[in-house]
Structure 1
Amino acid sequence: MNGLALHPNKSLIRNIGLDNTGTNSTPNEFYEVNGSNPNVEVNRVEIEQSVIGTEAIKSYYRLSESAKKAKPNKLFKVVKGLSIFYKLPLFILELYKKRELIIYSKKRLTIKGAFISPLSTFHFDDARDINFGKGCYVGEFTTVWVINNSKEVRNSCLIVGDNTYIGEQNNIRASGGKISIGKNCLISQQVSIIAANHEYKKEDLIRNQPWSRVNNFVSIGDDVWVGCGVQILAGVTIGNGAVVAAGSVVTKDVDPYTIVAGVPAKKVNSR
């Protein structure tokens, strides 16, 4: 672009990021520059273009261009062709390992008249377990899990009715149970909806135990407003037209058209 790059031959900056004063840091002199001192007085000099440096850079790029134009020999072509057969099984194996951790974006989850943010994340083992109605909205950084225990036990499901808004940074866990959200609902930000609990028998690690089949659901009716930061736990039914105030923890059923708030959430008013 007919411009010049400026490279001082003596740094005036001292990197103290690895001097062992920070958290999780160990002493390391890798980035130290000899004689660097931000307090030193700089002698102003005439800046001139380095002929040697310019020719070295030109020579480097000339070599790079000639290497690109060079034709590979026959042996190279054969080896390159055979390498595809080696890489292909590894690629398929990696896909198989990650089959339950697919990022399901707008491009893969196409619903006519609905918007699913490309920055939302869906984890599932069967796309048929996820059902959004028309006019739905799912905001950025919302995470949805719909993973079944096994091929034999398939009880995970997410159903969202028409024109329901689900905001940003929500956590919807339909693994091990069913979450149903009605029509025309407003789910604010940073809301957690949990459909199932882990079993926790003493004989085994909790992480190794399956989802509980008791109260493994959350049912939210139509025209429900769930405020920011609400936690809705497994086995809860929220009736039509209810309002859940911000920051509440819902552990019991909520009657239709009631307003609940608190930890645990209790009725404070009616619509």
Structure 2
Amino acid sequence: MSQASARPSLKQRIKGRLLRSSTYFFLAALKYYVGNNVIAHVPWERLRNAYYRRILGIRIGQRTHVSMRQFFTGYHSRCNVSIGNNCVLNREIYLDGRTGVVIGNNVNVSFQCCILSLHHDHNHPGFASIGGVVEIRDHAWLGARATILPGVTIGEGAVVAAGAVVTKDVAPYTVVGGVPAKFIAERNREIAYLTDFSPFFDTDVFDESHG
């Protein structure tokens, strides 16, 4: 290998210099600060979604409603959150885009849910970070203030009761609840609804004639 080919490219040198700069990380943190403390309180959903898509790099599907006062977190390089079509994300949800959150279609996430993709190993001498991608599949419903821990998959059509703490995968079309969450019941598999809910401002008021 020649000396010229072993030399880092201009792009690699610029990237390396940026990653050694505190200014770069300051600006990366600033985009989350603005998103969570300014944009999240803007009453116009199109503007909020434009910021989430273009600045934070979040995927938001068609006819999906993302309420005001969301809290997104992620790394300096990305916010690894993907939200499918016809979903409703209610107020004050914590979405951890560090390892990743993947939300399917027709998913309903109630207010103040906490979806974590990274936490700490309490047995590790150095309190190491561990995690995994959280996947919430089509037609799932998370009740108010439910907590989903890293690496968990919520199966298609599954329901997580309000206040539950989910520590392991939830089977499709089952209802779970409690701390930690346990099986409660089966859910009807004949699901035919298509979520379409876009309220005005930070309310639950919407034009029901177009529902």
| Offset, 1:127 | 3.3
| Offset, 1:202 | 2.5
Where does residue 162 of structure 1 map in the other structure? 85
Where does residue 246 of structure 1 map in the other structure? 162
User: Would the alpha carbon gap of residues 262 and 95 (structure 1) be closer, same or farther in structure 2, given more than 3 Å must change?
Assistant: same
User: Would the alpha carbon gap of residues 257 and 108 (structure 1) be closer, same or farther in structure 2, given more than 3 Å must change?
Assistant: same
Q: Check if 1:202 corresponds to 2:125.
A: yes
| Offset, 1:197 | 1.7
Tell me how far apart the structure 1 counterparts of residues 39 and 145 of structure 2 sit (CA, whole Å).
28
| Offset, 1:117 | 7.3
- The one-letter code sitting in structure 2 at the alignment partner of 1:161 is G
Secondary structure of the residue that 2:119 maps to in structure 1? coil
Higher RCO (CA 8 Å, separation ≥ 6 residues): 2
- The one-letter code sitting in structure 2 at the alignment partner of 1:244 is V
| Offset, 1:135 | 1.2
Secondary structure of the residue that 2:82 maps to in structure 1? strand
Cα deviation digits, residues 163-185 of structure 1 (max 9, x gap): 1110001111121x111011011
Secondary structure of the residue that 1:104 maps to in structure 2? helix
Where does residue 227 of structure 1 map in the other structure? 143
Gaps of at least 5 residues in structure 1 are 1-92
Secondary structure of the residue that 2:35 maps to in structure 1? coil
Pick aligned residue for 1:218 from 120, 128, 134: 134
Where does residue 99 of structure 1 map in the other structure? 28
User: Would the alpha carbon gap of residues 117 and 247 (structure 1) be closer, same or farther in structure 2, given more than 3 Å must change?
Assistant: farther
Secondary structure of the residue that 2:30 maps to in structure 1? coil
User: Would the alpha carbon gap of residues 259 and 270 (structure 1) be closer, same or farther in structure 2, given more than 3 Å must change?
Assistant: same
Pick aligned residue for 1:139 from 67, 78, 90: 67
Tell me how far apart the structure 2 counterparts of residues 97 and 261 of structure 1 sit (CA, whole Å).
40
Cα deviation digits, residues 132-187 of structure 1 (max 9, x gap): 11111111211011215xx6xx7x51111011110001111121x11101101110
Secondary structure of the residue that 2:95 maps to in structure 1? strand
Where does residue 237 of structure 1 map in the other structure? 153
Tell me how far apart the structure 2 counterparts of residues 257 and 191 of structure 1 sit (CA, whole Å).
20
Pick aligned residue for 1:171 from 94, 110, 113: 94
Using the aligned pairs only, state the percent identity: 31
| Offset, 1:249 | 0.4
- The one-letter code sitting in structure 1 at the alignment partner of 2:138 is D
| Offset, 1:242 | 0.5
Where does residue 76 of structure 1 map in the other structure? none
Tell me how far apart the structure 1 counterparts of residues 101 and 108 of structure 2 sit (CA, whole Å).
15
| Offset, 1:99 | 2.8
Name which one, 1 or 2, has greater alpha-carbon Rg: 1
- The one-letter code sitting in structure 2 at the alignment partner of 1:99 is A
User: Would the alpha carbon gap of residues 157 and 96 (structure 1) be closer, same or farther in structure 2, given more than 3 Å must change?
Assistant: closer
Pick aligned residue for 1:268 from 165, 176, 184: 184
Q: Is the 8 A contact 1:116 1:137 kept in 2?
A: no
Note the 1:18-37 alignment, pairs <5 A: none
Q: Is the 8 A contact 1:190 1:228 kept in 2?
A: yes
- The one-letter code sitting in structure 2 at the alignment partner of 1:169 is E
Note the 1:63-82 alignment, pairs <5 A: none
| Offset, 1:189 | 0.3
- The one-letter code sitting in structure 1 at the alignment partner of 2:94 is N
| Offset, 1:94 | 7.3
Secondary structure of the residue that 1:260 maps to in structure 2? strand
- TM-score, length-scaled by structure 1: 0.51
Q: Is the 8 A contact 2:39 2:48 kept in 1?
A: no
| Offset, 1:230 | 0.2
Tell me how far apart the structure 2 counterparts of residues 97 and 145 of structure 1 sit (CA, whole Å).
14
Gaps of at least 5 residues in structure 2 are 1-21, 188-211
